[in-house]
Amino acid sequence: MKGLSQQEFIAWADSYLRGELSDEERARFEAYCAEQPQHAEQFAQHKNFLSDFNKTDARINFKKNLSYTAEHYFLENEAERPTKVLRLWNKLKLNVAMAAAIAIVSVFSTLWLTGYYANLKKTTTDYSALRRDMNNVKRNVNAHNAEIKNIKSDKDNSEAMHFGATGFMITRDGYVVTNYHVITGADSVHLQNHKGQSFKADIIFTNPEKDLAILHINDSTFRSVKSIPYTFKKQDSDLGEDIYTIGFPRDEAVYGQGYLSSSTGYAGDTLAYQISIPVNPGNSGGPVLDKDGNVIGIISGKQKGLDGAAFAIKTKALMETLYSIPADSLRGNIVLGNRNLLNSLPRTDQIKRLQDYIYLVKVY
């Protein structure tokens, strides 16, 4: 059986412990644990954790029930033998409190010994979203301010740009996808194409769990395009497949080439790929395409300390996000193109065609 991610295995183990599996499924689970010593050890630790947790919960409930019984007994028998019962209750109360404290210490000791806290810290420090570093932006703040002051629009836009990233068009009428971490907290969003034209965009829908945001260009100067030259690949791509991206790690489009190095993302995430492409702050939200010009993913982050270890959200997650957008949030239906106009072109011509559909996302 294919190795499972930590989340998948824990979910399977919980079903086993709750007795939700058939005899055949239980046998398959036990066989898997026998073949995977690491997961077998993880299952034993998880089982012990749940056992300690349930014992603690039972003790707490017993304490509550005992308190309720004692209080009602005192009310009903106020004039009769309160001293003996009170002594008994005080003694039991102390024992229950000590037992609960021991159980809680046991639970947290188990988490510490199994490396739970170390893994949690590692997870939060090893992975970084590719938001543009503020220190890099500061070098250009004065230039940005000078340019913004010269912009004549219906709305005064005199505040400095926060940071930049990448987005790309998914429909001919102006729907664009980028990362959620790029636009979170934004007051306004503008999209700039490779010709220098800038368009105001509205945030239509966000999916923080999948780190996706859907934008729509809402600008009188924007004109719908005839078609989108690429399609979105729904099935998983193969390891070692030749891939490339175009993004905005700086204020002009940059091309990057590499290969697909893992069918899962960071910490075994099944909705992402690991890709071997050099990416930098600003590449967030950029498309990942295969050699035929099909979009297979969206760049989202990288692993600190490992050059070329980047991650891309699979197009499957994008499709799920699009289907979940409430109808009243849309500006017309989202219709994806079904014709690939890039597959017969050499790479240089593919890139020339793509540049009109990829944007520098400016967040203010």
pLDDT at 292 over 90: yes
pLDDT band at 100 (very low <50, low <70, confident <90, very high): low
The model's pLDDT over 166-194, given as tens digits with 9 standing for 90+, comes to 999 999 999 999 999 999 989 999 999 99
Mean pLDDT of 321-337: 90
| Listed residue (211, 212, 161) closest to 191, CA to CA | 161
Name every residue whose Cβ is closer than 8 Å to that of residue 39 and which is 6 or more positions away in sequence: 4, 9, 32, 33
pLDDT band at 156 (very low <50, low <70, confident <90, very high): very low
pLDDT at 199 over 90: yes
Burial class (CB in 10 A: 0-12, 13-18, 19+), 358: buried
pLDDT at 359 over 80: yes
299 sits in which H/E element:
strand 295-303
What percent of the chain clears pLDDT 70, i.e. is strictly above it?
A: 72
Q: What is the pTM of this model?
A: 0.61
| Listed residue (309, 303, 209) closest to 258, CA to CA | 309
Highest mean pLDDT among 20-24, 50-54, 88-92, 195-199: 195-199
Mean pLDDT of the chain, nearest integer = 80
Token pair belonging to 136? 């890099």
| Angstrom distance (rounded) from CA 317 to CA 300 | 12
The CA distances from residue 116 to 97, 107, 112, 152, 321, in Å, are: 26, 12, 6, 54, 31
pLDDT at 49 over 60: yes
Q: Tell me the sheet residues that pair with 163.
A: 363
Q: Higher confidence at residue 55 or residue 75?
A: 55
Contact between residue 151 and residue 349 where contact means Cβ atoms under 8 Å apart: no
Q: Which residue has the tokens 């697909």?
A: 260
Q: Residue 120: what pLDDT?
A: 45
